[in-house]
Structure 1
């Protein structure tokens, strides 16, 4: 692969970086202050977000994740990856560029699998930044690391589909503009293993849908997006709300996950870069025992190892993105699992080092490190836990030797 960025990618990198420097970073504190001042942090979004979204849209920095030129920037995964890294340095940047999860994955699902009516009603407002969405797959009562364990049901009844079950860690469900979820449930338990489930579009105000609670991660509720536990009790919807037809849930899920893992990993690399920058600034500006922190306790080596780890992770993710672009998802299965296992672990180590250099301040809300650690640690579970991805990698690696032995 060519390690250089394409001219198109370089142009977007320059534009996104300039926008982050001039528009996003200077207003992050304004956003945080306004959000904390709200009596109910779930009720509304500080106005700074809509102001910045309008500017980003006017600047043509909008839906950058989507390779389809009719709706997005037409960037490949490899070209979009460095932009996701830039956005990952800020809590608010992904929404400002309309590139925040899970909306990106939901939009891709609707683009590739949705009907024309589903696209009109849900995808177009989502890509316009007018509404937000959530994805309901993980469940509290089963080991969701094996998605085939899913207990929630999506049963076809004539010209309707009836949903029952409980989901949790439904990211984005708390956003005041969240209007729909994609629900995945068991439709036919007797069908082949990967043809049993369906994905259904569910308006959030449908009778029988209830947000039971918002779930904290290490004490952080991640307002105003959040991660919710949601119950579905005899939720009855028209059959045309099923995406691509009954039984295609696993097929859709696999198509959704490839680019999404690239996005997650590159945003995490941006998060780690921000943590390393904060660590270095702290290390050279503070002294203890008559020396700068950078000269104490092996901190120079820790900084060096963090730089090496970030650079290694970035190259590995870019390689996975390139393989996804050039050979397709099936050819990149192992590489996608490799980065999904490696990058969150790397980010946790770098952020932990930065927290240590900040002392007690690193544990507080005075710096974004504690919340960054919560986000990075959660991603060792989201989109599949480390163990599942390591299993995929091991299966691919050992499979080559079994083939040779059989030959």
Structure 2
């Protein structure tokens, strides 16, 4: 039966590519976002046609989340599964020189070009097509199969988190985002704002009294004081590089990036406020709550060493629900148990399809898989496409890899459908 399914994937390559072309034709770049309604309507209809019941809700207006559930024949005794992917794609920037229309997927040789083919509508198309082939061949799951088509992943919005908050759980989850068909975990990312603010605003003419002996004016430039905070963050980052390591990551992957600085009000005034936007990468062995505490404690000691900052210490605002709405995001880290049933089953399927052992690695980027892990669901990242192509101009996906990934996924599902607890 599995060889028959593999043969059908080869014979129906054009159908698979047309499905991907259809997904790409829905213009869902984020930012600006708020544009996924029609794409999600299509995904919901596709799932309904192959026996899934649909749950749908608006994360934001015009940006719904779609969850399809196929009930298992005996869910009490068979393992359940979540397949997760995001329908939003990276933005198209003004002046980008695309050789083909970004939202008209185009085949050239062994590649298909278009925005989102690698990140991650290729993985979405392969998953939907695999589920359809199983249904057409009368292969039904023992446990529940849950397909999550979410929004907001590109800008840190909580589409997948909302699925978890709504109560969706399974024994195993696969995020079919671009991993070059490696089985991966990931580190975590959290953004934060550090703000220094003076309770008083001083005219530029008073600066001499702040910086010269006998001036007697207890004031300071918030911008200059932020320089001390930045230096403190750099020292902490260097300490992490020396003291922290994690399997699967190059040394120094735990970083603190001072990404954006905003401060001052006018050239005629001493800057009374300065805010720094930082991006923090941390390892799967850590949790963002612990990382936040470590940064705040370190900066507290930096501030205590400065008379003005000791009186007017920096304030912190961490995370957020959207890089669009509140300029903040959280992507929790996750790892995987290489001896678990889910990983072992996926390794077996990968070898059947690719005729080689699956690589177990760690992604240098982040996905929504962390939210599934936070909810207590064992999860891996496993999908077609490379990070080099994700978000790139003239984004492309290898058609042979897409087909072989579809075979790997269908082999996994064929096996998983029969896995008893």
Q: Fold conserved (TM > 0.5)? A: no
Higher helix share: 1
Higher relative contact order (CA 8 A, sep 6+): 2
Larger Rg: 2
Higher strand share: 2
Q: TM-score normalised by the shorter chain: which range applies?
A: under 0.3
